[in-house]
């Protein structure tokens, strides 16, 4: 299936449209980072990076609860300007070229971000470069074994998908990328939709209950450098 305009950055449009219309956008009402803190074991000594940080809501919660040094990047300048937490170190950058020095971060997370580039190897290669040798990263990416993957690709083909390019993965595909970019898969799991917005979400969640290893909305991985 060939998708038109695969490199179009739909997230810049996302931020412009929602902010201008005063609609909901990521982080508008804050964020709870307890899950991220637990999975990564974030402590005060850590240097944390959020790839696709939006307005920094998760980072603010991490800062409040751990006092770790918090950095974030986003492709759009709009959410960076909306951030009011001056303790955070946010900047506009591309995840394929983040502009940080080598091995800077001990803990990294990217929630629903890495899938927005067709150059997955470049994304994970850059992630490996900025991660400390003893660091860990928590990543979430769309699961190819889901109804969401099918409906999303139909919308992309028709030009009605409003978030630009987005791909989905299988476990074998993500393992191949990790192996070729110098990572070790420490933990892998699949989670269902948190909110049921349509019948397809419901079907995904039913399949997840039947087989949690393969079916479901998002793949979650915890990785470290080899």
Q: List the domain boundaries for the chain.
A: 10-225
User: Which residue has tokens 């001056």?
Assistant: 86
Q: Is the pLDDT of residue 10 over 80?
A: no
Q: In the 8-state DSSP scheme, what is residue 143?
A: B
**Domain 10-225 of CATH type 3.10.20.30:** no
H or E segment and range at residue 176: helix 171-180
Q: How confident is the model at residue 3 (pLDDT cuts 50, 70, 90)?
A: very low
Which stretches within 51-162 are classed as H helix? 57-66, 77-82, 120-130, 147-158
pLDDT tens-digit map of 198-215: 787 888 888 888 888 888
Which tokens is 122 given?
A: 């470049």
pLDDT at 2 over 60: no
pLDDT value at residue 4: 44
Q: Work out the percent of the chain whose per-residue pLDDT is above 90.
A: 72
Predicted TM-score of the model (pTM):
0.91
Per-residue pLDDT reduced to its tens digit, 170-198: 999 999 999 999 999 999 999 988 888 77
Distance CA 144, CA 215 (A): 8
Distance of CA 71 to the CA centre of its chain: 15
């Amino acid at each position: 299936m060939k998708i038109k305009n695969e490199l179009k950055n739909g997230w810049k449009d996302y931020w412009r449209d929602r902010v201008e219309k005063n609609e909901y956008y990521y982080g508008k009402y804050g964020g709870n980072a307890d899950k991220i803190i637990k999975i990564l074991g974030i402590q005060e000594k850590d240097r944390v990076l959020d790839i696709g940080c939006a307005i920094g809501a998760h980072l603010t919660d991490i800062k409040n609860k751990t006092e770790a040094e918090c950095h974030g990047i986003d492709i759009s300048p709009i959410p960076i300007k909306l951030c009011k937490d001056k303790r955070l170190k946010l900047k506009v950058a591309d995840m394929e070229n983040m502009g940080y020095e080598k091995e800077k971060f001990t803990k990294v997370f990217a929630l629903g971000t890495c899938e927005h580039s067709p150059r997955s190897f470049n994304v994970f290669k850059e992630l490996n470069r900025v991660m400390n040798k003893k660091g860990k990263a928590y990543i979430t990416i769309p699961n190819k074994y889901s109804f969401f993957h099918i409906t999303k690709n139909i919308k992309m083909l028709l030009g009605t998908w409003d978030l630009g390019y987005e791909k989905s993965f299988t476990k074998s595909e993500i393992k191949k990328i990790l192996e070729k970019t110098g990572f070790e898969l420490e933990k892998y799991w699949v989670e269902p939709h948190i909110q049921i917005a349509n019948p397809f979400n419901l079907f995904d969640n039913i399949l997840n209950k039947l087989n949690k290893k393969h079916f479901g909305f998002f793949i979650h991985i915890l990785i470290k450098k080899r």
